[in-house]
Structure 1
């Protein structure tokens, strides 16, 4: 039996509840099963490695990929629920989308690009163009209203795409890697501008990105997806401080280990343990920054409570420092050193060193 398409009312009910979604998609070789909630005015960031399911989640919210199970509700209305054979078609959902490459119509001016959505929803040409002019003015693009996309800078095109998405007054705004097409300088400027615009957006926004800085700056709350499942969620500061998977640890630039804690010691493996300032019992994580690791040719005479033999496996430039990859007792370890320190220690792949980390620079928490 086919699903029925239903229309969405144009008014928002009193006490709008935001996003309530349980997204289940089964493609045979890949399955997505994530629950997402967000309040009006909240920016929810979806993070995860390639193939984790971020884009699939975004497509289900937009209605481009049907749900196999679960539900999607927005402001108390059911947009999709397979068990009840209910599915609102994409064109009837109060959803705005900003794609990675913006997908502006090249033959239309900025004004007509923004007016396109309201016109499709039945607004008169004059009213749609007046609304578009107002939105472009709010974006600081009034002087570019009659300019076509090819003559816009990356930042200007991004603002036109945002104005076009907002022109239909969406209750859910989806942003798919909205800064990926920009160069580093434009990205810095547009990220700050986008943050201001999202802060004023009264409905729910969902941002998909692989860039941790974009996520930390733009999102109020993060959901990390791996293999189609949520592995961690919380505010950006909490996730950066307490990563729970190797992917998240790499994303925020931390060394991360999981082991068993007893008092101030967390045993990671045979002959490999960390002394920490926290006192724990049972499964635990230990995390610390690469900058907390010091390397020595001989056993360090410092006050560091954690010292162990390690072997260099690689070196690469990392900003104004050198990131040194090592193994210690079979576990990976990363240290950030100055170029001078690397030269003085004569570090190279295969070199044997001592690595040290002060207990005060580690952070232990329950697993």
Structure 2
């Protein structure tokens, strides 16, 4: 990507005001959530053997997160929205009712926060933020006054004169966000905005970014591979695999009803597909699973690794309706627990404490029995 932040839109934020409805950055007088407001896009890009075809719609004030594995097409979609990658035949991009397909990048009302922030190293934080308004023709003094207001809003008034090398990762991220917002964009794009931060800084900056996005009156699209970033920051998730949308919905809906192995791993669930006949689900590849739901036809069955209980010998007297003979494929630390990767009759992941793993003498190749209570499974239509 270019190191020149896209500059667009006209006007400036008030010097010290919050983002009151209809008056904050990213808004124009009379803007709202009418039928021609917001984002309406079909991002079609053909590049060699890779084909992207992703539909995106969002109303002003929406925060949409694009999630997906490496190579899924997330960055390509973001570049297409920014105008850095041209759309192929069949693609369209409309923002607030205006077609942007052929609009040059620098003329689009789009702000971008890049993964590595790409702040100009020779400019102070103040002049980095003032850069966008200056590109829009705002006089230097006024642009710097606007930038000072943005830095104050970001809690960085004391760092206005600092060069990027003197800023911490969290401070640089907020300067980059202020630089993007200073152009009053109608579409804000964030490319892995927290990826460059350490774990402690990430926690703090994530909370700050959530507050700023909640106040943003236009559309924001976030690209991330981190499920926690997506769950905390976004109103809606769009999951992309192999250039196509495989699932979209609210964070809670996707967390409860994953529809692909990637999503299940993302939210930490064991996921299977099969045919339901009442409370019994016959898996497409594997044994049966007993559930509490009474369903018929194609279904998904999911349960968390914490629902799995392991035994070295076949349990007797267990109330669990589901019992499978497995073998330990691998062990790894997962937070404050041990995650066991199990193979055999039913491949699955199981979480247990370090003490339990030691008592069971778990090691790769060891035979185990796995049980899951029907009440801890969740079945839903495929």
The reply to whether TM is greater than 0.5 is yes
Deviation of 1:295 (Å): 0.5
Deviation of 1:22 (Å): 0.4
After superposition, residues 302-321 of structure 1 pair within 5 angstroms as 302-321=318-337
Deviation of 1:352 (Å): 1.0
Residue 39, structure 1, aligned to residue 55, structure 2: no
Deviation of 1:344 (Å): 1.2
**SS of equivalent residue, structure 2 residue 100:** strand
Q: Which residue of 2 aligns with 1:114?
A: 129
Deviation of 1:58 (Å): 0.0
Residue 49, structure 1, aligned to residue 64, structure 2: no
**Aligned residues, how many?**
353
More strand by share: 1
Query: Deviations 1:11-51 (Å, cap 9, x if unpaired)?
Result: 67753510000010001210000100011001000000000
User: After alignment, is 291-300 or 18-27 more displaced?
Assistant: 291-300
Q: Which residue of 2 aligns with 1:73?
A: 94
Q: Which residue of 1 aligns with 2:167?
A: 152
Q: Distance in 2 between matches of 1:319 and 1:127?
A: 50
Q: Which runs of 5+ in 2 are unaligned?
A: 1-7, 11-27
Task: Note if contact 2:275-2:299 (Cα within 8 Å) is conserved in structure 1.
Answer: yes
Q: Distance in 1 between matches of 2:227 and 2:314?
A: 36
After superposition, residues 85-234 of structure 1 pair within 5 angstroms as 87-234=102-249
Task: Note if contact 1:19-1:37 (Cα within 8 Å) is conserved in structure 2.
Answer: yes
Cα RMSD after superposing both structures: 1.3
Q: Which residue of 1 aligns with 2:367?
A: 352
Task: Note if contact 2:9-2:183 (Cα within 8 Å) is conserved in structure 1.
Answer: no
Deviation of 1:298 (Å): 2.0
Task: Note if contact 1:13-1:75 (Cα within 8 Å) is conserved in structure 2.
Answer: no
CA 1:324–1:151 in structure 2 vs 1: closer, same or farther (change >3 Å)?
same
- Return the TM-score normalized by structure 1: 0.94
User: After alignment, is 301-310 or 166-175 more displaced?
Assistant: 301-310
**SS of equivalent residue, structure 2 residue 141:** helix
Q: Which residue of 2 aligns with 1:83?
A: none
Deviation of 1:297 (Å): 1.7
The partner residue of 1:29 within 45, 49, 60 is 49
Q: Any runs of at least 4 consecutive aligned residues in structure 1 with deviations exceeding 4 A, and if so which?
A: 8-14
Q: Distance in 2 between matches of 1:260 and 1:68?
A: 40
Q: Distance in 2 between matches of 1:94 and 1:12?
A: 15
- Return the TM-score normalized by structure 2: 0.90
Deviation of 1:328 (Å): 3.2
**SS of equivalent residue, structure 1 residue 202:** coil
Q: Which residue of 2 aligns with 1:17?
A: 37
Q: Which residue of 2 aligns with 1:84?
A: none
